Amino acid sequence: MRRTGFRFRIEDRAETRGYLESFAALCECLDVFVLCKRCATDPAQAAEPLRQRLSKYMTLHQRVYGTRLVRPKHHWNFDIPDQLAKDGCLLDAFIVERIHLQVKWIAEKVRNTTTFELSVLSGVTNEAFSRAATASAIAGGLCGKTAELPGAPGIFVADRMEYRGLKVSSKDVVFRGEQCGYVIACVCEGLDLFAVADVWACRAAVSHNSATWSPAGTRELWPVQQLELATAWYPASIAGSWVVLRM
């Protein structure tokens, strides 16, 4: 392993090749999951390719790690292709998983246990009413501190916003179609949400799903409905440029 800038590069050696192949096969499975979550592919058509990728991964995994590290969830993964084919969507979280975390967060603060259940349920109820009272009619809005834009009545800005589950913050890298940009601020005008983005220009492809980008010198207002968060980004070897990963 050797360090290159902000990254570590694992050299191709015989003693590590099997581990890298296993890891790469796992990444191929995760690619399908992310594409299904983002509705970038037909889940029903992705079912069989996912089944083949899972089989390849488990074969390579057991080749280098043996069966000692195989867990029940490894077997459960093979049920996901069936679920994709049946339902046409990826079910990756169940409501009990989210709710028990909300209850746990409140329960941990209760010190007087004489009426523990009542105290916890009261806290959960109050939290639910609080979230409902602040929910936006457009299934999202600006988050955190907001301020009216000077000289522009009715236009508000903030560092963060949420729209139908998509969370965008300043300093995020986002895509708008084939365009890429760096979010400067989030804007709300009436019921419409936008990202103020410094537009980046593509300089060179790094792989089939990543490329090097650098500022193009323009700034645009992008509707939140058209945005897609970049999967990851890091500084490129050329000053002022970034390598951006897109699924």
pLDDT at position 134: 61
Confidence of residue 7 (pLDDT cuts 50, 70, 90): low
Q: Which two tokens stand for residue 40?
A: 């970038």
Encode pLDDT of 111-168 as tens digits. Answer: 888 899 999 999 989 988 887 766 554 457 899 899 998 888 889 999 999 987 789 9
**Whole-number pLDDT of residue 95:** 67
**One-letter identity of residue 141:** G
51 residue type, one letter: R
Give the residue from 215, 204, 212, 207 showing the smallest Cα distance to 233.
Answer: 212
- In the beta sheet, which residues pair with residue 199? 181, 218
Q: What pLDDT, on the 0 to 100 scale, is given for residue 113?
A: 85
pLDDT in tens, 74-102: 888 999 999 999 999 888 776 666 778 88
> Contact, 175 vs 199, CB < 8 A?
no
Model confidence, pTM:
0.63
CA atoms within 13 A on the CB side of 48: 1
pLDDT tens-digit readout, 196-247: 999 999 999 988 889 999 999 999 999 999 999 999 999 998 888 999 998 7
Return d(Cα 123, Cα 5) in angstroms, integer: 48
Predicted local distance difference test score (pLDDT) of residue 137: 47
- Summarised one tens digit per residue, pLDDT across range 11-67 is 778 888 999 999 999 999 999 998 888 777 899 999 999 999 999 999 999 999 999
Q: Where are the domains of the chain?
A: 2-87, 95-134, 140-245
pLDDT reported for residue 35: 85
**159-192 per-position pLDDT tens digit:** 999 987 789 999 999 999 999 999 999 999 988 9
Do 222 and 233 form a contact (C-beta atoms < 8 A)? no
